[in-house]
Structure 1
Amino acid sequence: MSERLIQPSVTGRAPDGSHVLHARVYYEDTDAGGVVYHANYLRFAERGRTEYLRDIGVSQSELADAEGVNFVVRRSVIDFRLPARLDDALEIRTRIAGIRGASFEVEQTIAKAGADGHLVKVDSTIACLDRKGRPVRVPKSVKSKLDEQEGAETR
């Protein structure tokens, strides 16, 4: 097992309890018209989920090393409402919507920083797999941290 440290968070919490990651749209994120290429919203969502987990004390690399458990996206549904554009400052909000035996549901919105409403909504199912790629229950250490956050978000 490696000795990896959980790095400090580059994120924060919103008043509603959701997790917020601030990001900027770079040239590499856009198409020739300066609009974010549709598949890149999945990258923003992945960063939001990763920082959310890191912020609550879940290191995916440590989990893989110590318990042989990896998180994979089983399903994502994306609702595109408005485009983000080159140089836009974004807020990626993440919250846990539910926890099941071997998976958990994540709701995310991507919005322009400081604006009302969102540009894109991403609903994902994150599954837990063992080293052989078989489904396994969400580890107790992770489930307890997710349960705490799920309760905090509804307060």
Structure 2
Amino acid sequence: MNIRVYYEDTDTGGVVYHSNYLNFCERARSEAFFSKGLTPVLQNGHFVARRVEADYIKSAKLGDELCVMTRLIEMRAASFKLLQSVFKENEKIFELTITLAYINFEGKPQKITKEVEELVRLLFIE
């Protein structure tokens, strides 16, 4: 997914503020669902961030065009792990490993159904 860096994404020096890389990755995950006519809120539940590990490699600046790539790296019974990389002109500038837990609408963890697992595998090809 391509993202343009806007003024609102930067600090006073025109450099992307560190937390916005997390937002860029969240947008890419949501867009994967939207591209299939779905939303990240499914019939029986939704996903929440359980663990995040971020590596800030280089900075992006105002006006840069970035590309966020997302790949499934692990599927478990009630969670899955993604690797998300942000590129600027084919150079990796940020990397995120995120574990997403599947919860019901009462906020309790639940097992990922076969249908949801198939959807996750389709959206975030291993």
TM-score (norm 1): 0.75
Q: Which runs of 5+ in 1 are unaligned?
A: 1-20
* 4+ residue segments displaced more than 6 Å: none
Preserved contact between residue 56 and residue 93 of structure 2 (Cα < 8 Å):
yes
Preserved contact between residue 56 and residue 145 of structure 1 (Cα < 8 Å):
no
SS at match of 2:32: helix
* Bigger-Rg structure (1/2): 1
SS at match of 1:60: coil
Question: Which residue matches 1:145?
Answer: 119
Alignment map for 1:5-154 (pairs within 5 Å): 21-56=1-36, 58-61=38-41, 63=42, 66-67=43-44, 69-112=45-88, 115-148=89-122, 153=126
| Structure 1 residue 148 displacement after superposition | 4.3
Moved more, 136-145 or 50-59: 50-59
Q: Distance in 2 between matches of 1:95 and 1:44?
A: 15
Preserved contact between residue 78 and residue 101 of structure 2 (Cα < 8 Å):
yes
Percent sequence identity over matched residues?
A: 38
| Structure 1 residue 149 displacement after superposition | 5.4
Moved more, 118-127 or 137-146: 137-146
Distance change in 2, residues 1:137/1:25 (3 Å): same
**Amino acid across the alignment from 2:51:** R
More strand by share: 2
Q: Which runs of 5+ in 2 are unaligned?
A: none
Preserved contact between residue 82 and residue 119 of structure 1 (Cα < 8 Å):
yes
| Structure 1 residue 111 displacement after superposition | 1.0
| Structure 1 residue 51 displacement after superposition | 1.2
TM-score (norm 2): 0.90
May I ask how many residue pairs the two structures share in their alignment? 126
